[in-house]
Chain A
């Protein structure tokens, strides 16, 4: 069953601003991942944070994880027009070969 919920559903910002997207989930996880999907394209894996980690950075991306609140946030700093895409969180359960459970996604528009 679907468990991830992203918030907001859509976000529009100016180039150079920061974008923050949130994700909530319902059950215990092994890790949480963020993906990007450009319009009409495939999924690009951005970053993974393990359940015992609280924060992780990768370039302009910063991910936080709060397992007590079952929530995560993705921050994109100094956004660019090329960051325009849909962003999905996906959770991996403690059982290794179970499928990822995806959130509904946040559609980010970065205006030049």
Chain B
């Protein structure tokens, strides 16, 4: 059973489109994250949710809107995609008592 899953794994789309990436964890964790890895392999936090509440938003453009319908899901919707949005997006989850976060396999987004 996959602990943290993301769909889709690959996403190729045109500039200006709107797309969503989904993340689900079956670990019972109450905190979930979205990280972005840019073309230089630089990994940086975008958002963090705890019990469906946004707790961190790292100056991400408001074209990005995370949504957490329940504790097990954290989806990322991106409006008006730009070339610079091309990256790998990683979802992760954590709960109190865990020393590390659990990462999903990543979603590779390419904006043409």
User: Known interface pairs A33-B100, A97-B31, A98-B56. Does A42 touch B90 (Cβ–Cβ under 8 Å)?
Assistant: yes
Using CB atoms and an 8 Å cutoff, list the residues of chain A in contact with chain B.
2, 30-31, 33, 37, 40-43, 45, 48, 50, 86, 88, 90, 92, 96-102, 104-105, 107
Count of B interface residues, CB-CB < 8 Å = 25
Q: A42 touches which one: B33, B41, B48, B103 (CB < 8 A)? A: B103
Give 14 new A-B contacts, CB below 8 A, not counting A43-B90, A98-B56: A2-B42, A31-B99, A33-B100, A42-B103, A48-B100, A96-B96, A99-B101, A100-B45, A100-B92, A100-B101, A102-B42, A104-B41, A105-B41, A105-B43
Chain A residues in 8 Å Cβ range of B100: 31, 33, 45, 48, 92
Are B43 and A102 in contact (CB-based, < 8 A)? yes
Chain A residues in 8 Å Cβ range of B35: 99, 102
Using CB atoms and an 8 Å cutoff, list the residues of chain B in contact with chain A.
31, 33, 35, 40-45, 48, 50, 55-56, 90, 92, 94, 96, 99-101, 103-106, 108
When C-beta atoms are compared, the residue in chain A nearest to B43 turns out to be A102
Are B104 and A42 in contact (CB-based, < 8 A)? yes
The CA of A99 and the CA of B32, in the complex, are separated in Å by 9
Secondary structure dominating the interface of B? strand
Q: B55 touches which one: A43, A45, A97 (CB < 8 A)? A: A97
When C-beta atoms are compared, the residue in chain A nearest to B56 turns out to be A99
A102 smallest CB distance to B (angstroms): 4
Q: B99 touches which one: A40, A48, A86 (CB < 8 A)? A: A48
User: Known interface pairs A102-B43, A104-B42. Does A97 touch B96 (Cβ–Cβ under 8 Å)?
Assistant: yes
